[in-house]
Structure 1
Amino acid sequence: MSEDVVIVSTLGEGDRRVGRLTLNVPRILNSLDAEMIEIMLGKLLEWAEDDSIAAVYIDGEGDKAFCAGGDVHELRRSSIENPGGPCTYAENFFAREYQMNYVLFTYPKPVICWGHGVVMGGGMGVMAGCSHRVVSERTRIGMPEITIALFPDVGGSYFLNRTPGMIGRFLSLTSAHINAADALFANLGDVFLAHEQRHEVMAALASAEWTEDPHTNHAVVDAILGMTPAAEMPVGVVEPLMSDIDALMAGDNLGAISDRLLSYDGENAWLQKARDGFAHGSKLAAAWIFRQLNESVHYSLKEVFDTELRLGANIMRDPEFAEGVRALLVDKDRQPKWQYDSVHDVPDAVLETFFQEAEGAPEMHYPW
């Protein structure tokens, strides 16, 4: 197996081929670090200008995960070493990651993401921006940032606001996981195929009749991915619960939503787990998650990433994030000492500081 953290290759021969990026750190579920982001961003920009590359295929090594998120251990280290900021490593990581996300969302060629296994956080940011998002029988999607006092970034302020009803708000506040059927219903995936069909898909991509026209090439990918699934899609949980989800998440008052969610005493195990996810998460994070989602409903992609970078930089400069990562991933005691016990306790003035300009933070740069 290659030791490269991202394996760069191509599918096919001749004048037009498919560029392939394979995340290759299966030991940590292909979690993204700064080096991986630089490799991916560099190749995406190069291939966008390369007439011999007709499309891009992104996947992850191993059978457990496409990508479980970002390397939050390094982000935490940056936060701890620079209390109050600027947290140069962490903030530059976000700036480059969001640039990559923007490139994927606006890419001039088809981009296929094979979203098998765990797809969370930064992994969801990669998949969400691709034009063709494949989910499989073992896909497990989530945005669990509230558990470590972060927020659903990587464009989450954009794609979570484009889910039906209150699904995006619900996933953000509860860290709930969803499967392939849920992803299709929530507009977080496009096509269901069995994981074993990836070889057939790659062979078809390698032998496809590509053209100079990206629109035509999108249709070529549509046709390839239109094959009959070789596995039965799991039963979704979200669609049957939409009335409950919308009722729990209704309104513009986070305190009222918190009270409803924490008092849920129904028998549905998935909703119970979601309630507990919110209960154990950072209440300060719940406040900035709620505000960011609400304020970004009508934002352009650039406005989304500009504001996500500002919020992300301010979060890195506060101790809540480092404590969340400590409790969940470092000491693993799962006993975070959050600054507030309830969303009702978060002062408006404190919340406001996370939405002010972060002095010394990097600026977003967009290639087009």
Structure 2
Amino acid sequence: MTQEAPVIAERQGALGKLTLNLPKALNALNLDMIDRMTAQLDEWEKDDTIACIWIDGAGDKALCAGGDVVALHRESGSYEEPRASRFVEEFFSREYRLDYRIHTYPKPIVVWGSGIVMGGGIGIMSGASHRIVTETTRMAMPEITIGLFPDVGGSWFLNRMPGRTGLFLGLTGAQFNGADALYCGMADRLLPSESKETLSATLAAQPFGSDVEHNRTLVSRVVQSLEMEEPARPPSNVRAHYDAIQNLTDAPTLPEVYRNIVNFQGNDEWLLRAAKTLKAGCPLTAWIVWEQLRRARHMSLADVLRMELALAVNMCSSGQVKEGVRALLIDKDRNPRWQPASLETVSRGDVERLFTSPWSESPLRDL
């Protein structure tokens, strides 16, 4: 592959390396990148000389800032003309299939999650066997701002966070750092950002063999040996705010939780920012977050991704995504005109329709 390719595939010893290579776009995922990564993982699974996979992002700003939402805006329906294009179905089907592949890959996968890791970037990172964050890591599932919802397995991993922190992060799109990711179970180790080359070189030099568990152990020991000392780590906002999050989300209905968060009266900047994002966000998304976590509580990962695929296609066809991306990235007026316009005007039927599969058989039925 040339250096201009959107995904660079190379080898370093027994390490197969995939680099997302759109640094000007913060390595946002497009369909070509998804397909290239999938094909390379398939090839390396059969290659006995590859013992471990490494995934990172070009540049020092991001692993991946999310999916190609501008393309989704172009291909999504509007409020006036609801439609689900073939592109939307293909994009999400192939993205979720890649995420599932990473979750179930037989060889160890190390993801270097430094800088911005949001949306689709979290989808790539969350299923890896060794998820690395650094002092520069900034993570979020900010889909409520564009009329989507926390997908790429969000129903799975948000449900596994401490207490109701997953609900709070899904509703508010609040950013969290590397220490937060460790606390929430979204990362395995926090390393100094300058240790990237040392880590990859050390991994490449390991005496890997044919035993996958032996190889996983070798990777774990190398990663652990470079972990950042506790005093140097950034403080965890989520851990520090755990009690406040529990209090704000301590209600049996979404409207009550919503009011608790958006009416927060303190002077804590992190909570105020979270409240502001929720208040300006898509009302339908808030209902989806509430409902997706309730429905997915005991689902398998495959069933979660099938549910999220139906949600993603339905949200894109309904006009929510076109309006959200328009306001944020196209016209940049930051004044989305959501329909329905408020939490109270969303009906139970509106929510049920979004969870109704548009197919007799899911495109992900074989997962």
Structure-1-length-normalised TM-score: 0.95
Q: Name the stretch that deviates more: 68-77 or 231-240.
A: 231-240
SS of corresponding position for 2:56: strand
Are 2:66 and 1:69 equivalent residues in the alignment? yes
Question: Which AA in structure 1 matches 2:262?
Answer: L
Q: Separation in 1 of the partners of 2:50 and 2:343? A: 49
Are 2:177 and 1:176 equivalent residues in the alignment? no
Q: Separation in 1 of the partners of 2:7 and 2:365? A: 23
Which one of 157, 171, 181 corresponds to residue 155 of structure 2? 157
Given that residues 91 and 362 in structure 1 are in contact (C-alpha distance below 8 angstroms), is that contact kept between their aligned partners in structure 2? no
In structure 2, what is the equivalent of residue 197 of structure 1? 195
Query: Alpha-carbon deviation of 1:341?
Result: 3.5
Aligned residues: 363
Which one of 146, 164, 167 corresponds to residue 166 of structure 1? 164
Are 2:95 and 1:116 equivalent residues in the alignment? no
Are 2:343 and 1:343 equivalent residues in the alignment? yes
Question: Which AA in structure 2 matches 1:30?
Answer: N
In structure 1, what is the equivalent of residue 271 of structure 2? 271
Query: Alpha-carbon deviation of 1:51?
Result: 1.4
In structure 1, what is the equivalent of residue 8 of structure 2? 7
1:1-368 correspondence runs (5 A): 2-12=3-13, 17-80=14-77, 83-229=81-227, 232-359=232-359, 363-364=363-364, 366=366
Q: Separation in 2 of the partners of 1:132 and 1:341? A: 42
Q: Separation in 1 of the partners of 2:180 and 2:260? A: 23
SS of corresponding position for 2:224: coil
Query: Alpha-carbon deviation of 1:170?
Result: 0.8
Question: Which AA in structure 1 matches 2:164?
Answer: M
Query: Alpha-carbon deviation of 1:49?
Result: 2.1
Given that residues 169 and 293 in structure 1 are in contact (C-alpha distance below 8 angstroms), is that contact kept between their aligned partners in structure 2? yes
Q: Separation in 1 of the partners of 2:17 and 2:81? A: 39
SS of corresponding position for 1:266: coil
For residues 279-309 of structure 1, the C-alpha deviation after alignment (integer angstroms, 9 at most, x for no partner) is 1100111111211121101110110111011
Query: Alpha-carbon deviation of 1:44?
Result: 1.1
Q: Separation in 2 of the partners of 1:362 and 1:87? A: 16
Kindly tell me: are residues 105 and 123 of structure 1, through their superposed partners in 2, closer, same or farther at Cα, counting changes over 3 Å? same
Kindly tell me: are residues 183 and 41 of structure 1, through their superposed partners in 2, closer, same or farther at Cα, counting changes over 3 Å? same
Query: Alpha-carbon deviation of 1:365?
Result: 5.3
For residues 236-259 of structure 1, the C-alpha deviation after alignment (integer angstroms, 9 at most, x for no partner) is 111121111112122441011111
Kindly tell me: are residues 21 and 72 of structure 1, through their superposed partners in 2, closer, same or farther at Cα, counting changes over 3 Å? same
Structure-2-length-normalised TM-score: 0.95
Q: Name the stretch that deviates more: 84-93 or 136-145.
A: 84-93
Q: CA RMSD in A?
A: 1.6
For residues 133-189 of structure 1, the C-alpha deviation after alignment (integer angstroms, 9 at most, x for no partner) is 000110000000000010111111111111111111111100100011111101011
Q: Separation in 1 of the partners of 2:128 and 2:85? A: 30
Given that residues 99 and 366 in structure 1 are in contact (C-alpha distance below 8 angstroms), is that contact kept between their aligned partners in structure 2? no
Q: Name the stretch that deviates more: 122-131 or 336-345.
A: 336-345
Q: Name the stretch that deviates more: 74-83 or 85-94.
A: 74-83
Kindly tell me: are residues 205 and 228 of structure 1, through their superposed partners in 2, closer, same or farther at Cα, counting changes over 3 Å? closer
Query: Alpha-carbon deviation of 1:227?
Result: 2.1
Q: Name the stretch that deviates more: 26-35 or 252-261.
A: 252-261
Given that residues 32 and 71 in structure 1 are in contact (C-alpha distance below 8 angstroms), is that contact kept between their aligned partners in structure 2? yes
Q: Separation in 2 of the partners of 1:162 and 1:246? A: 15
Given that residues 92 and 362 in structure 1 are in contact (C-alpha distance below 8 angstroms), is that contact kept between their aligned partners in structure 2? no
Query: Alpha-carbon deviation of 1:77?
Result: 0.8
Identity of aligned residues (%): 41
Residue ranges of structure 1 left out of the alignment (5+ in a row):
none
Q: Separation in 1 of the partners of 2:226 and 2:74? A: 46
SS of corresponding position for 1:226: helix
Q: Separation in 2 of the partners of 1:193 and 1:255? A: 40
Residue ranges of structure 2 left out of the alignment (5+ in a row):
none
Given that residues 54 and 110 in structure 1 are in contact (C-alpha distance below 8 angstroms), is that contact kept between their aligned partners in structure 2? yes
